[in-house]
Amino acid sequence: IEKSDSFDKAFNEFAKRENKVQNLDESQNSTFAALLRNSKFVDLGDPDGKIVSGKIFHIVEDDLYIDFGWKFYCVCPRPKRRSEEYVRGAEVKLMVKQLELASKFLGHEKDLTLLEADCV
């Protein structure tokens, strides 16, 4: 490799990175509303009823604790069919019913959250 070829490659790589930095600076001047409107979170839309993938991170008897990348994890019962496949670290598909379980419990006037999602 000649010195000029390696210099050209390094210069082009630097120019690409410089353009990325300039693009980031321009996006930082955007309004919060514009950033939110163009975010991946808004692109997902209403998560209720969506099929997502998750990973089993904890098991207690027949309860599977599954992290699917949202605010809270979900706890699902271990399916009876092919139950031996549901082990810690296994990738599973879930249908989101509700992202956060919250309700008024006996004797409370405010909603309390269970800090988990409802999925099947």
pLDDT tens by residue, 70-100: 777 788 889 889 888 999 999 999 888 777 6
Determine the average pLDDT of the residues in 55-68: 89
At 29 the pLDDT is: 67
Instruction: Supply the pTM of this predicted model.
Output: 0.55
Could you tell me which CATH class the domain 46-119 is placed in? mainly beta
Amino acid at 16: K
- Is residue 113 predicted with pLDDT exceeding 60? no
In degrees and rounded to multiples of 5, residue 42 shows phi and psi of -70, -35
Amino acid at 32: F
The CA distance from 114 to 71, in Å, is 12
C-beta of residue 15 within 8 angstroms of C-beta of residue 21 = no
- Is residue 68 predicted with pLDDT exceeding 80? yes
For residues 3 and 68, the model is more confident at: 68
Within 10 A of 85 (CB to CB), how many other CB atoms are there?
Answer: 10
Q: Please, what is the average pLDDT of the chain?
A: 76
Q: Lowest-confidence range among 6-20, 21-35, 48-62, 75-89?
A: 21-35
* Residue 77 host element (H or E): strand 74-77
Q: In 29-87, where does DSSP find H-type helix?
A: 32-37, 40-44
The CA distance from 49 to 58, in Å, is 24
- Name the β-bridge partners of 117: 74
